[in-house]
């Protein structure tokens, strides 16, 4: 069965970006001229997914407005003959369907996913954490769908990190079964020492519906939150899980430095900005 649905957990408070995120959702912070969450939605679209399920929370209505049609704005752009901009605005909300569900309290990423159960039913689905921006020739999720088609299991996106940074991630212990593909033997959330490998879990997942029962059995972990990694460990008791080392550059835009890096490198890829921006960076001495 093909994967049609994408879940975007977006109910976190985004404390690393305070005070910017006090009144504006982190997902709406712009990289060049598009909000963070739009990059993830575009990746989902480009990977063939048709139904976008966004988990929102308090103060997140700007996300819904962003993906809604803006009748007044579209009329104004039409009147002013700004057809390129109009097309871009229409494309944001076109061709796919959006559904929103609200997480009443930020009880963790695992909890945010668990509340989508009645929207997903009994099929495998994709999860995108919008903080992770992946710039890739073939969209990262499309690459993962290829792996899912072959192995029919949950698939976790992984990337190699310096062992000294492993404590920032969920890390897998895996057995390589094909180029870039690993059968997961164990998962450790933010290992304090001796990480089982340098393969860190990144914010893209394909999950089988078995994850919902696993989430129900997951007790609150660090910070009283229901952690997805803990649920994946429970799922691993009954189902195989694979990990895939995707091809592409990834930026952690939920972190200040990563956000700045993403802005600079994405701006340098824009034909209309590239030359002038490069000149400016040179002037700064880079």
Interface residue with ligand UTP among 48, 59, 106, 258 (CB under 6 A) is: 106
Would you count residue 3 as binding ligand UTP (CB under 6 A)? no
Bridge partner list, 251: 133
Closer CB to ligand UTP, 139 or 254, in the complex = 254
Would you count residue 10 as binding ligand UTP (CB under 6 A)? yes
Helical H segments across the chain, by residue range = 36-46, 61-66, 71-79, 83-93, 109-114, 117-120, 140-151, 210-216, 228-236, 256-269, 274-283
Closer CB to ligand UTP, 17 or 267, in the complex = 17
Dist CA 44 CA 42 (whole Å): 5
Would you count residue 126 as binding ligand UTP (CB under 6 A)? no
Interface residue with ligand UTP among 15, 162, 194, 283 (CB under 6 A) is: 15
Would you count residue 214 as binding ligand UTP (CB under 6 A)? no
- Cβ neighbours, 10 Å, residue 21: 18
- Binding-site size for ligand UTP (CB under 6 A) equals 22
Would you count residue 254 as binding ligand UTP (CB under 6 A)? yes
* Terminal alpha carbon distance of the chain: 49
In the complex, minimum distance from the CB of residue 51 to ligand UTP, in angstroms, rounded to a whole number: 18
Interface residue with ligand UTP among 7, 11, 31, 232 (CB under 6 A) is: 11
Would you count residue 131 as binding ligand UTP (CB under 6 A)? yes
User: Would you mind telling me the total number of residues written for the chain in this entry?
Assistant: 286
Cα angle 35-231-108, degrees, rounded to a multiple of 5 = 45
Write the burial class of residue 107 (CB in 10 Å: 0-12 exposed, 13-18 middle, 19+ buried).
middle
In the complex, minimum distance from the CB of residue 147 to ligand UTP, in angstroms, rounded to a whole number: 22
| Cβ proximity of 215 and 164 under 8 Å | no
Site string for ligand UTP, 36-75 (x = CB under 6 A): -------------------x--------------------
Interface residue with ligand UTP among 6, 7, 92, 109 (CB under 6 A) is: 109
Dist CA 185 CA 44 (whole Å): 28
Would you count residue 130 as binding ligand UTP (CB under 6 A)? yes
Would you count residue 170 as binding ligand UTP (CB under 6 A)? no
Buried b (16+ CB within 10 A) or exposed e, 236-264: beeeebbbbbbebebbbbbeeebbebbbe
Interface residue with ligand UTP among 28, 43, 108, 114 (CB under 6 A) is: 108
Closer CB to ligand UTP, 110 or 174, in the complex = 110
Closer CB to ligand UTP, 73 or 168, in the complex = 168
| Cβ proximity of 10 and 102 under 8 Å | no
Return residues touching ligand UTP (CB under 6 A). Answer: 9-17, 26, 55, 103, 106-109, 111-112, 129-131, 254
């Amino acid at each position: 069965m093909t994967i049609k649905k994408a879940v975007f957990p977006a109910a976190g408070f985004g404390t690393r970006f305070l005070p910017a995120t006090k009144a504006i959702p982190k997902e709406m912070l712009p990289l060049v001229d598009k909000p963070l969450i739009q990059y993830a939605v575009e990746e989902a679209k480009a990977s063939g997914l048709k139904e976008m399920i966004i988990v929102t929370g308090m103060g997140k209505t700007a996300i819904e407005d962003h993906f809604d049609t803006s009748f007044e704005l579209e009329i104004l752009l039409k009147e002013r003959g700004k057809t390129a901009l109009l097309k871009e605005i229409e494309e944001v909300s076109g061709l796919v369907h959006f559904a929103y569900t609200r997480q009443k309290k930020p009880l963790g990423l695992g909890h945010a996913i668990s509340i989508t159960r009645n929207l997903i039913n009994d099929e495998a689905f994709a999860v995108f954490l919008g903080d992770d921006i992946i710039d890739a020739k073939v969209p990262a999720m499309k690459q993962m769908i290829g792996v899912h088609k072959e192995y029919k299991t949950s698939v976790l996106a992984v990337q190699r990190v310096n062992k000294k940074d492993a404590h920032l991630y969920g890390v897998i212990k895996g057995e390589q079964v094909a180029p870039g593909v690993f059968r997961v033997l164990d998962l450790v959330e933010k290992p304090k020492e001796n990480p089982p490998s340098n393969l860190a879990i990144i914010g893209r997942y394909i999950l089988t519906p078995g994850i919902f029962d696993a989430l129900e059995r997951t007790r609150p972990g660090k910070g009283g939150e229901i952690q997805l990694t803990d649920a994946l460990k429970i799922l691993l008791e009954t189902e195989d899980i694979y990990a895939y080392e995707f091809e592409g550059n990834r930026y952690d835009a939920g972190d200040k430095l990563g956000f700045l890096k993403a802005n600079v490198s994405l701006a340098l890829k824009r034909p209309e900005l590239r030359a002038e921006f490069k000149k400016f960076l040179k002037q700064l001495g880079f």
